[in-house]
Amino acid sequence: VRLGRDESWALLGGGGHGVLATVHAERGVDAVPVVFAVDGGRILLPVDTVKAKATTRLQRLVNLEHDPRCVLLVDRYDDDWSRLWWVRVHATATVVEAGHPALTRFPRYREEGAVVATIVLDPAAVTGWRAS
Amino acid sequence: VRLGRDESWALLGGGGHGVLATVHAERGVDAVPVVFAVDGGRILLPVDTVKAKATTRLQRLVNLEHDPRCVLLVDRYDDDWSRLWWVRVHATATVVEAGHPALTRFPRYREEGAVVATIVLDPAAVTGWRAS
């Protein structure tokens, strides 16, 4: 069952977790798990210092600088396939060198310095599907 | 913590669910949830008639015909971020117009005609990460 724009946004809710796919200059595509918050019609992804990584110069930032087009996919898996759903957001990304209040929905982001930048997605298309 | 090849394959196990990212000729990237099985060093994604959709001429097949490079991302989310992990497979895809025995790990695929084709991923790189 195809979902309309309103139902898709309802499933995104105020935020959650999903997968961000970006264009990689040599390898074609890249994908990485992300958490996100929703603020008005925009989707906010943190660049954080909480989840251990080697650098905050993340490949996703390199990719988005090269090509700002991206997809956020949010899906619910269930062994009962009648309960599956997903929402896909095609968007253009901008990077802001600051956190965003909406990201404090995640408790770990309430710590000082936890979020060093925000990837702001401006949705071009929001579509979805549910099994029943 | 970066994961080596062996630990990454161990997390993929015999199969499960993930997100397939492909190159879209106009929109840059696409992403769609998938289930997969593992057979030897290859990863198998079904084109099925089980999960209701408008057509089996899926956009993922159009994309892969245009550019066979893709990424399968498998991740485990948990509100306790010390339990996060993900595995990412960069691969080249080939489409075979038949099912595959390994896909019968999913009970619904044991039905006659449930799988009409298989997307076979030849991994070029398998990497992973876990929080702790």
B57-62 mean pLDDT = 91
Give the chain B residue whose CA is nearest to the CA of A83. Answer: B51
B42 touches chain A (CB under 8 A): no
Percent of chain B having pLDDT more than 70? 96
Over 90: is that where the pLDDT of B3 sits?
Answer: yes
Percent of chain A having pLDDT more than 70? 96
pLDDT, residue A22, reads 98
Query: What's the rounded Cα separation, in Å, for the pair A93 and A44?
Result: 10
pLDDT, residue A79, reads 93
Strand B115-130 to B42-48 pairing? antiparallel
Q: Which residue reads 């075979």 in tokens?
A: B96
Query: What's the rounded Cα separation, in Å, for the pair B88 and A78?
Result: 21
B71 touches chain A (CB under 8 A): yes
pTM of the model: 0.96
Interface with chain B: mutation pick from A30, A51, A71, A90, highest number of B CBs within 10 Å: A71
Using an 8 Å CB-CB cutoff, list chain B residues near A77.
17, 33
pLDDT, residue A56, reads 61
Instruction: Name the A residues in 12-31 with CB < 8 Å from any B CB.
Output: 17, 19, 21-23, 27-31
Shortest Cα distance from B20 to chain A (angstroms)? 9
Q: Do A113 and B69 touch, CB atoms closer than 8 A?
A: no
A54-64 mean pLDDT = 84
What's the ipTM?
0.95
Q: What one-character DSSP code corresponds to residue B98?
A: S
Identify residue B34 by its one-letter amino acid code.
Answer: V
pLDDT, residue A53, reads 67
pLDDT in tens, B11-47: 999 999 999 999 999 999 999 999 999 999 999 999 9
Shortest Cα distance from A131 to chain B (angstroms)? 7
β-pair partners for A15:
A37
Do B71 and A29 make contact, defined as CB atoms within 8 angstroms?
yes
Q: Do B75 and A33 touch, CB atoms closer than 8 A?
A: yes
B64-92 mean pLDDT = 96
Over 90: is that where the pLDDT of B52 sits?
Answer: no
